[in-house]
Amino acid sequence: MAVSFRSVANGILVVVLLGIPVLLLRASAKDPHEMGAFDRAIRRIGAPLEAAVSYSTGMLGGFFERWVLQARLQDANEELAAENRELRQRMRDLVQLEEDNTELRRALQMRDRVPEDMIPAERVGVDQSPFFRVVNIRIDRGRGISQPGMAVLAADGVVGRVDKTFDDYSDVMLVTDARSKIAVEVARNHAQGILLGHSEDACVVDVSKDYDVQVGDVVQTSGVDELFPKGHPVGQVTDIELLVGDQQRLHVRPTVRFDRLDVMWLVLAAAPEADPRAEVGASLAQARGLVPVR
């Protein structure tokens, strides 16, 4: 069998190539202090290569490390953002709860403060009319109780009066409605007049020029119309307009914020007359450290 030169050359090259690792192994196995020139040359050639390998691994490792770190940071960021959203939502809920709580406490306090016989009602809607200013209320277990003309109060003052009733539901005409007329007086000097609805957030009342009225004076119900009990705040004077003759026109801003109304009170009957035989100066029971909630 003839052996070609190419086969022989390949065989020699294979042996040489296999010999290289053997020589490398031999150099590795030698004591560093007993190395010959050949072994030292092998080590010298390998040193920069080893540095290059270490550098490439370190560089790629650093790249992956940054990548993983960035991914972890992103995960942490998303978790924190979700937690933040949840906490913000809870905070909004708590603020809403606090407002509701305050509103309910004020309503309860009003129930204790006002001597008239009243029944609570909750606002269920607002009629969207450019001409009439009306809110819809619902009275729990109030079927047949509510009657047109009944006064409606809130913790801040007078809301209006019942216009129409449908079972448990009633429409309340606000004091700002153009149809509304309420007998009022200026609290400071008892200048009396009829309060008329004027615009979305204003009413007017004409009083005699004989009374000194100032901007900021409180206007309250006078009780003369026998619809509204006496002494409930209606609004504050915001402007005074002198009319021809002996009248002056007071522009009054209602004390009640109608857009924030939740709980109202329907006045069922006027307060009973004071008992003249009641003991004068009778001391009240001690509150035992409890104070009204503000």
Partner 1 sequence: MLRGFTYLIVGWLLIAVTGGIADVLGLSIVLPATSAVVIAHAAFTGERSVVAGLALAVSLGYIEDLHQGAPVGTLSLAAAVTFLILHWAAGRFAVRGWAMRGLVGVVAVILLDLATVAVLFVMADKFGVRKPALLSMLLEMRWHAIATALVAPPVWALFDRAFMWFRLDARPHSDLHLDIR
Q: Contact positions toward partner 1, by CB under 8 A?
A: 10, 13-14, 17-18, 20-29, 42, 46, 49-50, 53-54, 56-57, 59-65, 68
Q: Least separation, in Å, of the C-beta of 22 and partner 1? A: 7
User: Smaller CB distance to partner 1: residue 42 or 162?
Assistant: 42
User: Smaller CB distance to partner 1: residue 31 or 259?
Assistant: 31
Q: Least separation, in Å, of the C-beta of 66 and partner 1? A: 9
CB atoms within 10 A of CB 35: 14
Both structure tokens of 57: 């691994």
User: Smaller CB distance to partner 1: residue 60 or 243?
Assistant: 60
The CA-to-CA distance between both ends of the chain, in Å, stands at 116
**Distance of alpha carbon 120 from alpha carbon 187, whole angstroms:** 26
- Single-letter amino acid, residue 225: D
Q: Least separation, in Å, of the C-beta of 30 and partner 1? A: 9
Q: Least separation, in Å, of the C-beta of 260 and partner 1? A: 58
User: Smaller CB distance to partner 1: residue 46 or 120?
Assistant: 46
- Single-letter amino acid, residue 138: R
User: Smaller CB distance to partner 1: residue 54 or 214?
Assistant: 54
User: Smaller CB distance to partner 1: residue 18 or 282?
Assistant: 18
- Single-letter amino acid, residue 268: L
Q: Residue 158 gets which letter from DSSP?
A: E
**Distance of alpha carbon 153 from alpha carbon 159, whole angstroms:** 5
| Residue closest to 200 by CA, chosen among 103, 128, 148 | 128
**Distance of alpha carbon 212 from alpha carbon 186, whole angstroms:** 10
Q: Least separation, in Å, of the C-beta of 57 and partner 1? A: 4
**Distance of alpha carbon 162 from alpha carbon 134, whole angstroms:** 9
Q: Least separation, in Å, of the C-beta of 26 and partner 1? A: 7
**Distance of alpha carbon 62 from alpha carbon 191, whole angstroms:** 86
Q: Least separation, in Å, of the C-beta of 83 and partner 1? A: 27
User: Smaller CB distance to partner 1: residue 24 or 119?
Assistant: 24
Q: Least separation, in Å, of the C-beta of 105 and partner 1? A: 59
Tally helices (H) and strands (E) across the chain.
2, 12
**Distance of alpha carbon 23 from alpha carbon 17, whole angstroms:** 10
**Distance of alpha carbon 121 from alpha carbon 150, whole angstroms:** 13
Q: Measure Cα distances from 183 to 94, 196, 237, 258 in Å.
A: 40, 9, 15, 20
Are 248 and 210 spatial neighbours (Cβ–Cβ below 8 Å)? no
User: Smaller CB distance to partner 1: residue 1 or 22?
Assistant: 22
